Structure 1
């Protein structure tokens, strides 16, 4: 689910990779996309608290639960 949301948000091109990972296009791998989205949600929670993270999660995931 996290990887699908990441793909919908087009997060892959913004992931900073090393040279080897970049050649292998690791930013397109579901595991990398999922972990990146998880980290973003965690950062939003730490920066803005529960209500900010809830608002973002609701917005990002809404179409997947409709």
Structure 2
């Protein structure tokens, strides 16, 4: 009997380093993971726009896997 995919949430600072971007795409394309959500984490100095850059990066990777 096949094992169902593992349900996961990903928390990432994808706008910081390329390894996070690779991990997000790998998880989205993996047959053994059921990605239920991606939470863009803050990285860098505190400021109003700091949360937007990681979110934009996550959205960009997600569009490319469709």
So what's the TM-score if we normalise by structure 1? 0.32
- TM-score where L is the length of structure 2: 0.32
Higher helix proportion: 1
More strand by share: 2
